[in-house]
Amino acid sequence: MSKPETMSRLENEQALPTTLTALTPDLRDWFAEQGLLRAAVEGDETGAIHEVVRGPLVALGAGDDDFALAPHPDLTGYPRPLRGMSLDDYNVFIFRWLEAAVTAGDIRCARCGKIILPGDDLPDPDTWDAIFIEKELVAWMLVHFDCKRWLAKKLKGMTPFELVPCLPPSYDLSHLTLADTERPAPHDEEPI
C-alpha cells in the first residue's frame, strides 16, 4: 500500500529510516561521543517545536537520493567491534566497507556519478579516493581524483536534514583479519 500524497513532512520523515531510530542505540551513542551527530530545531503547522537529530551518512553516488545511513561494523562481521573503536578505527572500517561496495559495483563518484572501478592500477581518470567530511553534513564518500576540486562547491551548504538516506547496503566483512583493521602506514613512512 502506498503512502497518501497528503502525508505531512513529519509523518513522512517518521516513515523513513532517516531518524536516529534507524540506528542501533550503541551506534547512535558512539556517534554522539565522537561529535558526529547534527541537530536542528523545527516547528510544525501546529506550533510544536521539536529537535531533529541526524547521524553520519555515506554517499553511494552523486545524487541527493544516493545517501545511506552509516553502517554498523558489528552487523557486517567486521573483526573489530564498535565498542572500543576510535574515530580512526571507524574510518578504517568505512574504507573496508566502501571497498566492498566498489567490488560489488554499488558505488559511484560523489561528484560525477560515474561508477567507481576496483583495482590498484587504474588509468588516471578512474583513480579514486575516500573522503570524510565533517561540516554541516557528516559523510564518507568516494570521489575520482579529477573530481575532488569540484566537490566542495557541490557540498557547500548541504545538510543531512534535506537528504532522505536509505539503509546501508549489507556487505560481509568477516573475511578480514585484525591486521586489515589497522590503518596502513603511508608509503613515505614504510621502513627501508
Q: Which of 111, 93, 112, 118 is nearest to 168 (CA)?
A: 93
- For residue 45, give the amino acid letter: E
Sign (positive/negative) of CA torsion 82, 86, 90, 93? negative
Please provide the average confidence, as pLDDT, over all residues in the chain.
85
Q: What's the CA gap between 139 and 33, in Å, rounded?
A: 16
- Sorted by where each begins, the domain ranges of the chain are 9-181
Instruction: Tell which wins on pLDDT, 90 or 16.
Output: 90
The pLDDT of residue 29 is 93
Q: What's the CA gap between 62 and 77, in Å, rounded?
A: 28
Give the residue-averaged pLDDT of 131-147: 93
Quote the cell numbers at residue 68: 545511506
The pLDDT of residue 23 is 75
What predicted TM-score, i.e. pTM, was given to this entire model?
0.82
Quote the cell numbers at residue 7: 502525508
CB atoms under 10 Å from CB of 13, counted, come to 16
Three-state DSSP state, 124: helix
The pLDDT of residue 151 is 87
The pLDDT of residue 134 is 93
* Predicted confidence (pLDDT) per residue in 9-20, tens digit: 334 344 444 445
The pLDDT of residue 186 is 63
Q: What's the CA gap between 50 and 83, in Å, rounded?
A: 30
Task: Find residue 139's DSSP bridge partners.
Answer: 57, 133
The pLDDT of residue 22 is 61
The pLDDT of residue 163 is 92
Q: What are phi and psi of 40, to 5 degrees?
A: -145, 150
Alpha helix stretches (DSSP H) within the chain: 9-15, 25-33, 87-104, 148-155
* Predicted confidence (pLDDT) per residue in 92-127, tens digit: 999 999 999 999 999 999 999 999 999 888 888 888
Q: What are phi and psi of 89, to 5 degrees?
A: -60, -40
The pLDDT of residue 185 is 65
